[in-house]
Each structure stands twice: as structure tokens, then as C-alpha cells.
Structure 1
Amino acid sequence: MASLDSWLSELRQSPVLFSVAVSIFAVVGYYVHAYWASPLHQYPGPFLAKFTNFWRLYRISRGNFHKELQALHAKYGPVVRIGPNVLDIDYPDLNKTVFNTKGDWRKTEAYLGSNVVVDGHIVYNVFSELDKTKHANEKRPIAKYYSATGVATIEPHVDKVISQFCDEIETRFVDNTKPVSAAKPFNFGTWTNFYTWDVIGALTFSQPLGYLSKGIDFDGTIKIAEKAIEYFGLLTAMPSLDYWFDKNPIYRLGPPGFANVGGISVQHMVDRYQGADSAYHDAAQPDYLDRFIEAKTDNPSSVDDAQVVSWLMINMVAGADTTATIIRNAVYYSLKTPRVWARLRSDLASAGLTAEHTPLPLKAVRALPYLEAIVNESLRILPAVILSMERYVPAGGQRLLDGSVVPENTILGFNLFVLGRNKKTWGDDAEEFRPERWLQNDGEADEGYRARLQEMHSAAMSFGGGSRICLGKHMGLMQVYKVIATLAVRYEVQLAHPEREWRVVNHFFPMQEGLEVKIARRV
């Protein structure tokens, strides 16, 4: 006691030490009180995560957070506390409640990092807009252009790029004098990126961006976009940092944002207004820029050029990388499971689809149940969005399946990688790539199959759900179905190193590395 009194006496005699000590005790006291007083105290999770979001920021920066979440759920159960006000949920049955059409489960600020600054103004998009009324108003003028019917009208743009994709691959990597086993390996993942970015350029501006023809990321846009996505993934843990790093009006600290894509979009819009793109733009075959300008004309009071740029940018950023992810998934997992690729080729042949028909028409390939099953299973096993989708609990709270009630304004996260491996939903083979799970079983009644299929789609939630379902779903799937079917009927394809596993890095979208293939024309 005497030593304690002596220590306190010394503190009182030193104002600086006293102030430091008081500050330390105040901070510690604040966090201890917050910890014990929190209504989320009952939920298990990593110790540091209960005090600060820096824990999650650091874990996300490691690029393997989907695997870490899977391990945390295995340790703690279906509800894991991963932040002071954040719970990650492994209850697939809750998806329909949260991702509904009412929009009462608000998106969190985690999505604001996809905004960009154009001419000093922050431009929101249909992905980042949090206000449900503003989101509906922004989406309404263009929704019809992304419907299945609307997307079908732009198929000729995709056909041109698929033809170019095949030509470039054959010119660079195919030797018709050699079998596929002796072909030159190449990075299919990289060329998939070139394909999807060029398709988005063609769909949006009537002009491929030039990555296929040049065979490189010649202007750095793809690399910048990857860095921007990595940055965006980090911000989901602490969105407030975006103001200081990217939206700082005094001095932008970085890292690279989506401004490069914004510049491309603005330039194409200006060229269209001035008629400077007539060398490649045909008004008889409209693109998305045409459609967006049409929406502006039809809605002059609510749509301006900033809104048009916002639509163009979300086409570019969300359309290219997510579509490339799905294509790489389908090709990698199908080739790793040879019976899957063999059955796909057999089904294509049975439908009378051959290399002479390439690029294959969307209507024909969409009629193949097994191709659809491959795509669905690819998205289940490795979703196109691999960080958790977050929502605020609405007024009144939410009762979970364990009987507990989560208070309003708590953030619930739903990680599709984790949900896609829930054994109660998917069975003991949840870790296995098995497209057949999406097909009708022998003896299964039609009504029972439709109900099971609906439940699987709800659990997998590959394109989100409810009022926030992915606007570009049909546009992306068109590119995926057509190019995968074209590859299967036109080429012999093998993994260059079938014994190796590829590497997946989690940056909100998964970045797959190590997809090298050998390819030869089918005879």
C-alpha cells in the first residue's frame, strides 16, 4: 500500500505523467465498459474483434478472410462476433428475411468505397447508394436495359469479342500440328480478364478497350482496378478511412481508386455527344451509352451527365471483374473434375452445337441444364463476392435461429463462401464441386425439384437478393454461358498443371492466380 501511495504521489507531482495515466485509464475504462455493456456480449468471437474493427481490417488485409471466417464458424458456431457491432451469420434460412424487396435491411457504409470523385463531387452508383429511395430512383430508368429481354439485344457486341478472343488465342497459343498435351501453356486467367474488359468496352461504348489485340494491360487500367478493389475490400471494415485516403478534398493520399475508369467513361460520353466515335459506333446497334443517354432524354428532371457517368462506371468496374471470376471458376473446377467437362461437351454435342456454330447463340446455350448447373455450382463453391455482405438490423431487432434477439442497428454479415459450405443446406459433400446437385434427381417430382432449386438459389444468393439483386446479372451470365460453351465445343482444353491448386486472394472479389491451360483446336 505504501508503494502505491508513493507512486500516486509522484504522479500528482508530475502533471504530464498524471495526464498520461488518466488518459490511459479513461481509454481502457471506456473499452472495458463498452465490452461488458454491449448487447452483443453474449456472442462468441475473437477477443480483439469485440473491441475494435482494426482486428477485421488487419485480417482482411491478409487476403484470406473467407477461410478465416470458415474456421471461426467451425470454432464458435453459426454466429460469430467479428467487430464491436458486427456479427457474421451462417444461417442460410435467414437470407430471404434480410435480402428482401422491402429494403428495410439497410446496406451499411461498407459499400461507399466504390464511389468516385468527378470534378470535385462524390459520385454514387447503384451499388454504393445506401438510401433505398434514391437507389430505386437511380435504378428505375435503366432497369429494362438489364432485363433478360434487354440484354438479348446487345448480344452481337459480345459475339464480336468472342470471335476476337478465339482468334487471339489460336494465333498466339494453338499449334494445329501438335496435340493438346504438347501445346504451349498460357495464363488463361489473364486472358479471361482481357476478354471481359473488352466485352464491357464493346457493350458500353461499341468499342473493345484493346486488351485482346495488344495482349497486355497496356494502359494499366486492369491493374489499377485490381488495386482499387483491394482498397475497397479493406474499407469494408472501416469505411470512415475512405474520406481521408480517397475523398480528402485537400490532398488525396491514395491508393489508386476508380478514377481511371471514370476518365474513360467521361471521354467516351463526350465523344458520343460530339459525334467523334462514328468510326466504331453504329446507331443501328445501340450500346449501353446509347441507352443511358436515352434514359437521360426520357428523364430530364432526374438524370444528368453525372448520373450517366455513374452508370457507365458501374458497368465497367462491376461488370468486368465479376464476370471474369465466374468464367475462371467454371473452367478451373470443370477441368479439375474431368467428368464434368466431358459431360458438358457431350450435352453440347447432343444439342447439335458444334464449332461451326461459334460464337454459340445465347438462346441455345441457356437451354442446357448442365451448363447452368456448372455455373451455379461454380458460384457456390467460390462466389463472385467473397467478403461478407452487410446489412443493418431494422427496428425491432431480429430473432435468430438460436433464440437470441439481435438489437436494431447491429450489422449482420453474410459471407457467401461460408454459406455455400453449410452442411445442413448442402449436405456432407458441401466442399465438393458437384454440378449435379442443381439437376433434377431421378424420380424427383417436378414440384419438389422446383422448390429445392428455389431454396438452393436463396441459400447461395450468387447475385444478391431482393431490391438489391445485381443489376448486371443477365449481362454477366450472357458472357459466361457463351464463352464457356464456345471453349468446350471449339477446343481441347487441359490444365497445364492439374496436380496444383490455384491461389485465391480475397479482395472483396476473389482474385484467382495460377490458372494455366493448354489448348488445341478440336478435330
Structure 2
Amino acid sequence: MTSFVFWLSELRQSPALVSLAVSIFAVVGYCVHAYWVSPLHRYPGPFLAKFTNLWRLYRISRGDFHKELQALHEKYGPVVRIGPNVLDIDYPDLNKTVFNTKGDWRKTEAYLGSNVVVDGQIVYNVFSELDKTKHANGKRPIAKYYSATGVATIEPHVDKIISQFCDEIETRFIGSDNTKPVSSTTPFNLGTWTNFYTWDVIGALTFSQPLGYLSKGFDFDGTIKIAEKAIEYFGLLTAMPSLDYWFDKNPIYRLGPPGFANVGGISVQHMIDRYQNADSAYHDPSKPDYLDRFIEAKHDNPDSVNDAQVVSWLMINMIAGADTTATIIRNAVYYSLKNRHVWTRLRADLASAGLTADQTPLPLKPLRAIPYLEAIVNESLRILPAVILSMERYVPPGGQRLLDGSIVPENTILGFNLYVLGRNKKVWGEDAEEFKPERWLQNTGEGDDEYKTRLQEMHNAALSFGGGSRICLGKHMGLMQVYKVVATLAVRYEVELAHPEREWRVVNHFFPMQDGLEVKIARRV
């Protein structure tokens, strides 16, 4: 006891020792709470994840966190603790509860990294806005432009870029000799050219001007590379969102890395050009683009919509409209060619519907009536979702009872990973790892009601475009392009994987970055 009193006396004489002692007690107290006292201590998971989000940050930085999560669920079960206050959930039955239209399951700060700073002001978008009222107000003026009916009016813009996409491929990789067999043509990276297409088409849809990647054949201004780096950065921020205020949003000195400011600059410049009529060389007011519609929304809602809101709408078109669409197109083509019978059946079904190469770009309406094409798209979204880091939500007041009977307290973060949910064997069966479009079709002997119930369960489990009040605004716009591009490639060309024995490489940066869609292509005779 005397020694302890002497130690306290010495401690009071040294501020440095006081600080050290306080720090040690704080760390020890935090660790004891995280491991033993936290209401989440009962849930299994990696040891370090119980104490710090640095574990998750590191794992995400490796680019394979979707596979890590799948392995953790196989080891620990449907509930895995991946952070001091984060559980990852593989309970598809909860999806409708969490992703509802009430908006009572709040988005977490993980989404704030997609904000940008414009003229010193942080600009939110419909993806990053956490407040449900502000989100609804930001979405309401433009929702009609993204409906199935609204998107149908922009199909001519899409057709123009698909035609250019085909022309560039034929000029660069096929040439004038249409008699050459596909095996003798020059291999090229169709994945890269798909990305050029989606960026150009989003430029045409948004500003009436393709950005120029197809015509130039490379990322001439670095925007695509910057966007990839920004998505990589955004993926890291989902683990520790506060880092954004030290790096991209630092009010004193921005430390980087590349954020979405480049896309913001493009959006602002196009808006200024439109106001000043400086884009008349390519903009036809009789064929409105999304910038026209956003300005119209501003005029119709002067009290709630300003130029900053217009910029946020433009940016979400650019950020979410290009890379995600390219991901789904690449999935559909790669997995269909990898499973050759799928590509063969798709071509047969397109032919049975009377669709030929002479009609390309193919119109959307007859394509939506082909069940097997829809099944390929659904399966492509399941096997490799366009978002493969977990979608996070805060548990609302009152907590949430899980299927194991435990109650998760309010303000706990629940993550729902689409890659993991897409492999839940209770929903998808023992062949969940297989690319099998047929699972989306009605089985022989299966009744209509039974099929409808099973189909709805699969859609609920897949959550391909989110759900409830936060369902993806650009769903119809993206799907239109996927249907049209995949079908156009199938009816117009002979396509083979250049290296069918190889697996492509997928890196998880929130969006999956795929590499290895090397193909040989020839015109169908």
C-alpha cells in the first residue's frame, strides 16, 4: 500500500506520466469494453475486428474483401462481427425489413466519401445524403426522368453510342474482311472498350456529348483512371469514414488521393456552357438530355433546387452511371462466354424473336420480352454484384431481433454484402457458386404461383439495386444499356474468349474492377 501511495505521489509530479497513465487506462478500458462489455461481444469474428476498424480497412485495401467475408460466414455462420460496432449479416429474410420505404434504417457515414467539394462547399448527392427527408427532397424533382417511361425517351442517345461502339470495334479489330473466321482475328480487351462505351454514353445522355474515349481509343484525359482511384479511396473510407476529413475534405490543405472533384469539374463546366449557350454545336434542345431535365427541375422548384443541387445530380449520373453499367455488361458477356451453352442459347432465343444483325442497335422493347436474356442479366448481378462491399445501415430505436433469437441494440451497424447474400445456399441451392441463368426461369412442372413466389424470394435476396426508399435511381437507365449492348454483341458478332482456360481478375474497390475480358471477334456472316 505504501508503494502504491508513493507511485501516485510521483505520478502527480509528472504531467507526462499522468498523460501516459491516462492513455494506458483508456486503451485498456476500451479493450475490456470491446471484448467483454459490448453488447456485440457474443457475436463471433476476427479477433482484431472486435477492437478496431483498422482490421477492416486493411482487409479492404487488399481488394478481395468480398471473398474474405464469404470465408468468414462459412467459418462463423450468418452473423459475423467485423468491427467494434459492425455486424455483417447473411440473413436474406431481413432484407425487406431493413431496405424498406419508411427509411427508418439510416444509412451510415460510409457513404459520405462520394461527396465533393465545389467552391469550398461540400456537395451531397442522392447516394450520399444520409437524412431521409433531404434525400427524398433531392430525389423527388427528378425521379420521373429515371422511370421506365422517362428512360425510354433517351434510347436514341444510347443507340447512337452503341453504333459508334460497334464501328470502332470493327474498324480497329475486324477490318473490312468479313470472311475471316473469328479464330484468326486480333484479340483485344472488350472490358476496356466497354468502359469507353459506358463513359461516352453517360456523357451523351447527360450533356448530349460523348466524352471521346471511343473515338480516341484510350483514357486521353485520365478521367477514367482518376475515377477508378476515387472509387478505391471511397471503398477504403467505408471502413473509417472520418479519414475523409483529413484527406479529401481537409479544409486547410487537401491531402488527396484523387476524389470525385474531376467529375465535379466536368459537370460544372457543362452546366456553365449550357447557361451561356456555348454548347450549341452539339446540343439540340429538341432532344433533351439530363442536364436539360435537371435545369427544368430547377425552374419548376426554385425554392428547393439550386445550381449546387444540379451539379450533384450531374455527378451521380457520371459516377454511378458509367462504372456500374460497365460491370454488369462485362459480367454478362464473360460468364456467358465462359459457359458457352449460355451464349449459344441466348443467340438462338434472339433469332427466334426475329432479331437480326441488320436491326442493330436492337430496340429495347422486344429484348425485354426474352426471358433468357433477363435471366442472364439477373444471374450476372447475382454472381458478381455491381457493388461488392457491404451496404450498411444503423439499427433503429428498439433494436432488431435476428433469426437466431438475439437482439442487436439500436445504433449498431448491420452490413449486407450482396456477394455473400448471392451465395446463400438456402436461397440459391447447392450450386450457388455456378453461373446458371436457368435458375431464374420456371422449372418444368413448377406451378405459376410457386414460381412467382420463388422468383420474388430470389429478387429479395439479391438486392441488386438496393431496395425501399433508397433503391437505385438509375436502375432502368443501366438495365436498358445492358440489354441492348449484350444482345447487339450476340446477334452481330462471333465472339470467343481469347484465353478460355484463364479466370479473369476481380479487385474489390466498392465496385468490382474486372480485368481479363480478352476476346476475339468477327462479323457474323
Provide the TM-score with structure 2 as the length reference. 0.97
Q: C-alpha offsets along residues 460-484 of structure 1, whole Å, 9 cap, x if unaligned?
A: 0100000000000000001110000
Q: Distance in 2 between matches of 1:450 and 1:18?
A: 67
Shift of 1:275: 1.0
Q: C-alpha offsets along residues 390-415 of structure 1, whole Å, 9 cap, x if unaligned?
A: 00001111000000000011000000
1:57 corresponds to which letter in structure 2? L
Question: Counterpart of 2:248?
Answer: 246
Question: Counterpart of 1:298?
Answer: 300
Q: How does 1:271-350 map to 2 (within 5 A)?
A: 271-350=273-352
Q: How does 1:107-146 map to 2 (within 5 A)?
A: 107-146=107-146
Q: Distance in 2 between matches of 1:275 and 1:22?
A: 63
1:65 corresponds to which letter in structure 2? F
The runs of 4+ residues in structure 1 deviating greater than 2 Å are 1-26, 175-178
Question: Counterpart of 1:169?
Answer: 169
Shift of 1:452: 1.3
What SS does the aligned partner of 1:443 have?
coil
Q: How does 1:264-275 map to 2 (within 5 A)?
A: 264-275=266-277
Q: 2:214 aligns with which of 207, 212, 220?
A: 212
Question: Counterpart of 1:491?
Answer: 493
Q: How does 1:344-423 map to 2 (within 5 A)?
A: 344-423=346-425
Q: 1:479 aligns with which of 478, 481, 496?
A: 481
Shift of 1:494: 0.5
What SS does the aligned partner of 1:245 have?
coil
Shift of 1:516: 0.6
Shift of 1:225: 0.3
Shift of 1:274: 1.1
Pair 10,298 (structure 1): closer, same or farther in 2 beyond 3 Å: closer
Question: Counterpart of 2:75?
Answer: 75
Q: C-alpha offsets along residues 66-119 of structure 1, whole Å, 9 cap, x if unaligned?
A: 000000001100000000000000001110010001111000000000000001
Q: Distance in 2 between matches of 1:18 and 1:468?
A: 49
Q: C-alpha offsets along residues 476-495 of structure 1, whole Å, 9 cap, x if unaligned?
A: 00111000000000000000
Shift of 1:271: 0.9
Q: How does 1:214-233 map to 2 (within 5 A)?
A: 214-233=216-235
Q: Distance in 1 between matches of 2:354 and 2:53?
A: 55
What SS does the aligned partner of 2:241 have?
coil
Q: Distance in 2 between matches of 1:13 and 1:395?
A: 47
Q: 2:435 aligns with which of 429, 433, 451?
A: 433
What SS does the aligned partner of 1:301 have?
coil
Q: C-alpha offsets along residues 298-333 of structure 1, whole Å, 9 cap, x if unaligned?
A: 111111111001000000000000000000000000
Q: Distance in 2 between matches of 1:495 and 1:33?
A: 54
1:424 matched to 2:426? The reply is yes
Q: Distance in 2 between matches of 1:86 and 1:358?
A: 48
More displaced 10-residue stretch of structure 1: 139-148 or 172-181: 172-181
Q: C-alpha offsets along residues 365-389 of structure 1, whole Å, 9 cap, x if unaligned?
A: 1111100000000000000000000
Q: C-alpha offsets along residues 156-190 of structure 1, whole Å, 9 cap, x if unaligned?
A: 00000000000000000014342111110101111
1:192 matched to 2:194? The reply is yes
1:460 matched to 2:462? The reply is yes
2:296 corresponds to which letter in structure 1? E
Q: Distance in 2 between matches of 1:503 and 1:439?
A: 29
Q: Distance in 2 between matches of 1:13 and 1:137?
A: 58
Question: Counterpart of 2:40?
Answer: 40
What SS does the aligned partner of 1:27 have?
helix
Q: C-alpha offsets along residues 326-354 of structure 1, whole Å, 9 cap, x if unaligned?
A: 00000000000000000000000000000
* Unaligned runs of at least 5 residues, structure 2: none
Q: Distance in 2 between matches of 1:25 and 1:259?
A: 42
Question: Counterpart of 1:56?
Answer: 56
Question: Contact 2:34 / 2:50 at 8 angstroms: preserved in 1?
Answer: no
Shift of 1:14: 7.1
1:260 matched to 2:235? The reply is no
Q: C-alpha offsets along residues 238-273 of structure 1, whole Å, 9 cap, x if unaligned?
A: 111111111111100000011111111111111111
Number of equivalent positions: 523
What SS does the aligned partner of 2:506 have?
strand
Shift of 1:445: 1.8
Shift of 1:454: 1.1
* Unaligned runs of at least 5 residues, structure 1: none
Alpha carbon RMSD of aligned pairs, Å? Answer: 1.8
What SS does the aligned partner of 2:246 have?
helix
Question: Counterpart of 1:100?
Answer: 100
Q: Distance in 2 between matches of 1:264 and 1:257?
A: 13
Q: Distance in 1 between matches of 2:280 and 2:26?
A: 67
Q: Distance in 2 between matches of 1:277 and 1:71?
A: 52
Q: Distance in 1 between matches of 2:129 and 2:300?
A: 22
Q: Distance in 1 between matches of 2:171 and 2:210?
A: 19
Q: Distance in 2 between matches of 1:269 and 1:10?
A: 67
More displaced 10-residue stretch of structure 1: 419-428 or 440-449: 440-449
2:491 corresponds to which letter in structure 1? V
Question: Contact 2:223 / 2:263 at 8 angstroms: preserved in 1?
Answer: yes
Q: Distance in 2 between matches of 1:90 and 1:376?
A: 20
What SS does the aligned partner of 2:355 have?
coil
Shift of 1:15: 6.5
Q: Distance in 1 between matches of 2:398 and 2:233?
A: 34
1:517 corresponds to which letter in structure 2? V
Q: How does 1:439-454 map to 2 (within 5 A)?
A: 439-454=441-456
What SS does the aligned partner of 2:293 have?
helix
Q: Distance in 2 between matches of 1:132 and 1:17?
A: 47
Q: 2:502 aligns with which of 482, 500, 503?
A: 500
Q: Distance in 2 between matches of 1:212 and 1:227?
A: 21
Q: How does 1:2-17 map to 2 (within 5 A)?
A: 16=16
Q: Distance in 1 between matches of 2:313 and 2:452?
A: 35
Identical pairs, percent: 89
1:472 corresponds to which letter in structure 2? G
Q: Distance in 2 between matches of 1:10 and 1:92?
A: 58
